[in-house]
Structure 1
Amino acid sequence: MLNTLFVTTQGAYLSKKGDTVLVNIDREVKLRVPIHTLSQITCFGQISMSPFLMGLCGEKGVSVSFLTENGRFLARVNGPVSGNVLLRKAQFEFQQKNGKTSKLAGKFVTAKIANYRAVLQRALRDNPENKSDELNKASKYMKSSAFVALESESLDIIRGIEGEAARTYFSVFDHLILCQKEDFKFTSRSKRPPLDKINAMLSFAYTLLVNDVRSALESVGLDPAVGFLHSLRPGRPSLALDIMEELRPIFGDRLILSLINRKQITSSGFKKTESGAVEMNEETRKLLINAYQKRKQDEIIHPFTKEKIKFGLLPHLQAMLLARFLRAEMEDYPPYFWK
């Protein structure tokens, strides 16, 4: 499985030597990585890169993303567009058909809600003493909402169901915090800016995930900007956000809950800015990135293909299945349901 090189040390300079990426800090080479082992390079904050390395990345199909130090996306650099033009044509044509678009959008939302429920069910099963009525009610609501989303033919209704399911899920999210409850309180989802420690971590984890999903879509020849659930908007990777909906609860939410409940992250790793935003320090960001990368090495059995794969390949497998569906090689798109 090809890796992502995350660069978080401020002032780092990336250059090339032959087919090797060099990470220089204070004019000293701290890391050497062969280009063929990478699928993308993600730079946080004040990181610079030589034009020769950018050229090599473009030539080898390694995408380069630049984000702020706290994970807000800035820009992405890619080489020449690759992929089957006929696949993209099929994708564009499918997007214009309202009935088919809503059916596919319903699949994404159904899987997201089902995976929300799986997170709640896992919490109830792993901690029998946590017999919260709110958790049980939320779990039942997710079950009924998932069926409604799957059967709905209206894109507006599907989006409304997704929004209400997310509000219900995050209204009980604080019940999933079992340790350090005084330090990690959660009341509601806040994005720009994140207003508490948990929201800061969730937003950061979702940024890592959407970059992985976008790269996976590009690798199979799909256009990440042309989605079916999320509306089209300049600069928005709508299809990457669509696929990410299925994976948010298990890639992001479960990871954050685990780090807090196992006390691997503490409240000392955060600061509050004058604007009220909560930010992670460099050590906490690195810890979260390492945990995210480690999670990607776990093995799972995919419920549709029945194959054993590394968790990090899940975005690639879902992208491949979507491409096969759009090419009419499959009758339906199978979203990912976590168990």
Structure 2
Amino acid sequence: MRKLLNTLYVSTQGVYLHRDGETVVAEREQKVAMRLPIHTLQAIVCFGNVLVSPFLLGLCAERGVYVSFLTEYGRPMAQIEGGKNSNVLLRVAQMHAADNPRLSADIARNVVAGKILNARTILQRRLRDHGADEACARGVAQLANVVLRLRSADTLEMVRGLEGEAASYYFQAFNGLLVAQREDFRITDRNRRPPRDPMNALLSFLYVLLANDCAGAVKSVGLDAQIGFLHALRPGRASLALDLMEEFRAFFADRVALSLVNRCQVRRKDFSFSESGAVVLSETARKTVLVEWQNRKKEQLVHPFLNEKIEAGLLPFVQAQLLARHLRGDLDAYPPFIVK
């Protein structure tokens, strides 16, 4: 089984990253802040004004360490990677499947089934752990109904329509998942670009982290991150990474957001509110989020399909491998990740 390596998140403005032999060195104001051996890293994610030396970029490309550049507030800007995985036959199979409406619908349907079932489980756990909540109970029933109808969805249009319906039901119930700071983090809908309330700002930031992890996972097994099935092809968009992350939105990103809010580790004062209506997470709070994100990735769980204990951070990689096996014809269908 693949070993879970670290992702280095650099959010402090003005940091300079460079190479010292086989070591990544982070400096700020000409003082060394950190040193990490390159072999312990799978990715480096830079937020805002972070400088990276060409020699370090070359080392990362050589060792297969992805380097991502985002704005200070988390909007993706660019990603640097080494040479493409040599498995061209797998990418050909991926292209053929994406060009086949039936095969695309089959994969998309399983992805959406995983997403909906995992969202439903989050609502069910809320009812189990904290007692009755009308919105959550209604959401559980609505999502169960969508899953039943999803079984007969045989076109991408039908699958996408049901995915949108399920997302609407889930976010209508989302406020019921809050057990602390309910007034400060209540949402009326899922909004972004820009997010207009603290919870949406927190979710958007976490979804960026998740998408970045999923993009690295699909590339690491030789798949093309831009050729998706649920998400249509669009220049510059990592559609397959967006497909893969759907199964993990509720289970991973939403759970981290809710834990941070319900444990009062993130508060309303950690956000700034602009006159345009945009809401932005502070640098200090982003660091809190990143620490929690990394800790969650180290949690152990039993994968429902493999029946093996793995670290949660390996889930995107495992699912990318399973998708690759399906595209090669080793599996009859793509088995989505469904939390027990």
Report deviation, 1:274: 2.5
- Which one-letter code corresponds to 1:323 in the other structure? A
Residue from 13, 22, 29 that aligns with 1:10: 13
Residue from 103, 107, 110 that aligns with 1:104: 107
SS in 2 for 1:74: strand
TM-score (norm. length: structure 2): 0.97
Deviation per residue, 1:266-285 (Å, 9 max, x gap) = 11111112221111111100
Deviation per residue, 1:160-203 (Å, 9 max, x gap) = 11111111111121111111112222111111000011001100
Unpaired runs of 5+ in structure 2? none
Determine whether 1:57 maps to 2:55.
no
Q: Quote the Cα distance in structure 1 between the aligned partners of 2:178 and 2:107.
A: 33
Q: Quote the Cα distance in structure 1 between the aligned partners of 2:275 and 2:22.
A: 44
- Which one-letter code corresponds to 1:182 in the other structure? E
Greater CA deviation, 299-308 or 256-265? Answer: 256-265
Match of 1:281 in 2: 282
Determine whether 1:165 maps to 2:176.
no
Q: Quote the Cα distance in structure 1 between the aligned partners of 2:78 and 2:123.
A: 35
SS in 1 for 2:162: helix
Residue from 110, 119, 126 that aligns with 2:122: 119
Residue from 80, 86, 89 that aligns with 2:89: 86
Determine whether 1:178 maps to 2:179.
yes
Report deviation, 1:50: 0.7
Structure 1 residues 78, 252: closer, same or farther in 2, change over 3 A? Answer: same
- Which one-letter code corresponds to 2:46 in the other structure? C
- Which one-letter code corresponds to 2:329 in the other structure? A
Q: Quote the Cα distance in structure 2 between the aligned partners of 1:116 and 1:283.
A: 29
Report deviation, 1:132: 2.5
User: In 1, are the aligned partners of 2:49 and 2:72 still within 8 Å (CA)?
Assistant: yes
Deviation per residue, 1:281-331 (Å, 9 max, x gap) = 111000001001000011000011000000000001001111111000111
Report deviation, 1:263: 1.2
SS in 1 for 2:229: coil
User: In 2, are the aligned partners of 1:66 and 1:74 still within 8 Å (CA)?
Assistant: yes
Greater CA deviation, 164-173 or 143-152? Answer: 143-152
After superposing on structure 2, the runs of 4+ consecutive aligned residues of structure 1 that deviate more than 4 Å are none
- Which one-letter code corresponds to 2:166 in the other structure? A
Q: Quote the Cα distance in structure 1 between the aligned partners of 2:334 and 2:186.
A: 38
Q: Quote the Cα distance in structure 2 between the aligned partners of 1:176 and 1:282.
A: 26
Determine whether 1:196 maps to 2:224.
no
Report deviation, 1:134: 2.5
User: In 2, are the aligned partners of 1:177 and 1:257 still within 8 Å (CA)?
Assistant: yes
Report deviation, 1:332: 1.4
Match of 1:316 in 2: 317
Match of 1:148 in 2: 149
Match of 1:36 in 2: 39
SS in 1 for 2:233: coil
Greater CA deviation, 99-108 or 258-267? Answer: 258-267
User: In 2, are the aligned partners of 1:83 and 1:222 still within 8 Å (CA)?
Assistant: no
**How many residues align structurally?**
337
- Which one-letter code corresponds to 1:244 in the other structure? M
Q: Quote the Cα distance in structure 2 between the aligned partners of 1:143 and 1:274.
A: 40
Report deviation, 1:257: 0.7
Deviation per residue, 1:84-137 (Å, 9 max, x gap) = 011111111111111111011000111101111011001000111xx2222212
Structure 1 residues 290, 247: closer, same or farther in 2, change over 3 A? Answer: same
User: In 1, are the aligned partners of 2:138 and 2:173 still within 8 Å (CA)?
Assistant: no
Q: Quote the Cα distance in structure 2 between the aligned partners of 1:119 and 1:231.
A: 28
Identical-pair percentage = 48
SS in 1 for 2:329: coil
Q: Quote the Cα distance in structure 2 between the aligned partners of 1:190 and 1:66.
A: 23
Determine whether 1:303 maps to 2:271.
no
SS in 2 for 1:103: helix
Q: Quote the Cα distance in structure 2 between the aligned partners of 1:56 and 1:42.
A: 15
User: In 2, are the aligned partners of 1:15 and 1:22 still within 8 Å (CA)?
Assistant: yes
1:327-338 equivalent positions in 2, closer than 5 A: 327-338=328-339
Determine whether 1:23 maps to 2:33.
no
Q: Quote the Cα distance in structure 2 between the aligned partners of 1:34 and 1:233.
A: 37
Match of 2:295 in 1: 294
Unpaired runs of 5+ in structure 1? none
- Which one-letter code corresponds to 1:71 in the other structure? G
SS in 2 for 1:104: helix
- Which one-letter code corresponds to 1:97 in the other structure? N
TM-score (norm. length: structure 1): 0.98
User: In 1, are the aligned partners of 2:211 and 2:241 still within 8 Å (CA)?
Assistant: yes
SS in 2 for 1:29: strand
Match of 1:75 in 2: 78
